[in-house]
Amino acid sequence: MIKKASLAKINLFLYITGRRSDGFHDLFSLMAKIGLADDMTFVFHDRGIQVTCDHPDVPEDETNLAHRAAVLFFACCEKISKPIPGEGVCIHIKKQIPVGGGLGGGSSNAATVLQVLNDRYSRPFSLKQLIEMGRCLGADVPFFLFNGPALATGVGEKLAPVSNLHFCHVLLCDSGIHVPTSRVFKGHEFCLTSHKKYTIKSVSDALLQGQGGDIGQYLHNDLEGSAFRLYPEIRSTKKEMEDLLQRPVTMSGSGGSLFALYPDRKDAQQGYEMLCRRWPGKNRNVFLTALQNR
C-alpha cells in the first residue's frame, strides 16, 4: 500500500487575458501549492482500476479524474510497448480539499495518480511526458506535476517557475458553495484595458526577474465579478472576512474559496480563531495552512 498527500493550490492572482475560439479563456495566473491536502491510498492488484472517495459530491466511476489519470497512464504504457504485468489499482481518496472550491482538488488527485504509478512501475515516463499526459486531463493538472510556484499562461498549462516567493501563512475559508468552473468563466465580462496590460507586464517582469516576492501587493482575481453575480454569498463571505480580519481577501480560481495571507504565524492564528468563532458550524470550513515551495 502507498499513501500520498495530494496538495491543493491557490491562485494568488488570476487575470483573464483573452477569449479563445475554442470557448476557453487565456489567463495569466500565479499559482502556488498549499499545505491543505487530500489523503490518497493506493493498493495494487490485478483486477483493473477502482476509485472510492468519502465525499458524496465526488463520483467514484470512470469520470473521477483519478480514475481517468490511471486509465491514461496504462494506455500510454501500452503505446510505448511497456505493458504493465497484472495492471490494477484501487485508489481511495479521503477528501479534505473543498470540492468545487477553486483549489484544484480533482486536478491534484489526477497528478498524484500519474506520479505514483510512474514511480511504482520504474518511471517509464519523463516529467515532460507526464506533464503532456496531465494536459489531456485538465488545464490545472500540469501545475500539480510541476515543482514549486509558477506563473501560468495559456489556459493555465504553460508554466514558468517563480522561485523567490516569500513564505506566507494562508487563512482559507470555504464559502460552502460548490462552484461549477465553466459557469463562472462563461459569466465573465471580458475587458482588457491598457492599464491592466501594463500591470500584467510589470508583475510578470518583476516575478520572472526574481523580484516582487512579497506577493501581498499583487493579489487579484478577475473571476470574482462573475462568481459574485452568480453566488452573492461568496461576495458577502469575502466582505465579512475583510471586516473581521482587516486585510485583503481574494477568491481562489473560479471560487468559492477565499483566502488571506499572513507573514506572521501569531496573526494568522488570531485570524483563524476569529473566523472559527464567526462560523462555528459546518456551513463554512476554515483552514489555517501555508504556501509550499514544492
Q: Which is nearer to ligand ATP, 107 or 118 (CB)?
A: 107
100 binds ligand ATP (CB under 6 A): yes
Rounded-to-integer distance, Cα 97 and Cα 39, Å: 10
Cβ burial, residue 64 (10 Å; 0-12/13-18/19+): buried
Residues 238-257 that bind ligand ATP (CB under 6 A): 253-254
Question: Cell 506563473 appears where?
Answer: 151
Rounded-to-integer distance, Cα 61 and Cα 67, Å: 7
**Options 98-106, 129-137, 198-206, 225-233: segment touching ligand ATP (CB under 6 A):** 98-106
Listed in sequence order, the residues at least 6 apart from 267 whose beta carbon sits closer than 8 Å to its beta carbon are: none
Q: Which is nearer to ligand ATP, 109 or 271 (CB)?
A: 109
Closest contact distance (angstroms) between CB of 100 and ligand ATP is 4
Phi and psi, residue 88, nearest 5°: 180, 140
Rounded-to-integer distance, Cα 69 and Cα 72, Å: 5
Rounded-to-integer distance, Cα 249 and Cα 255, Å: 12
Give the bridge partners for 159, in sequence order: 152
The Cβ of residue 9 has, within 10 Å, a number of other Cβ atoms equal to 28
Closest contact distance (angstroms) between CB of 104 and ligand ATP is 4
Of the residues 12, 27, 49, 65, which one makes contact with ligand ATP according to CB under 6 A = 65
Of the residues 140, 174, 222, 224, which one makes contact with ligand ATP according to CB under 6 A = 140
Of the residues 46, 54, 57, 273, which one makes contact with ligand ATP according to CB under 6 A = 57
**Options 59-67, 114-122, 148-156, 271-279: segment touching ligand ATP (CB under 6 A):** 59-67
**Options 53-61, 75-83, 217-225, 264-272: segment touching ligand ATP (CB under 6 A):** 53-61
Alpha helices in the chain (DSSP H): 65-79, 105-120, 127-137, 141-145, 181-186, 194-208, 224-230, 232-245, 265-278
Of the residues 77, 87, 105, 172, which one makes contact with ligand ATP according to CB under 6 A = 105
285 binds ligand ATP (CB under 6 A): no
For residue 97, how far is the Cα from the chain centroid? 10
181 binds ligand ATP (CB under 6 A): yes
121 DSSP assignment: T
Closest contact distance (angstroms) between CB of 44 and ligand ATP is 19
Of the residues 58, 165, 177, 249, which one makes contact with ligand ATP according to CB under 6 A = 58
Of the residues 48, 59, 210, 232, which one makes contact with ligand ATP according to CB under 6 A = 59
Residues annotated as catalytic (active site), given as ranges: 9, 140
Residues that bind ligand ATP (CB under 6 A): 57-59, 64-66, 93, 99-107, 109, 140, 181, 253-254
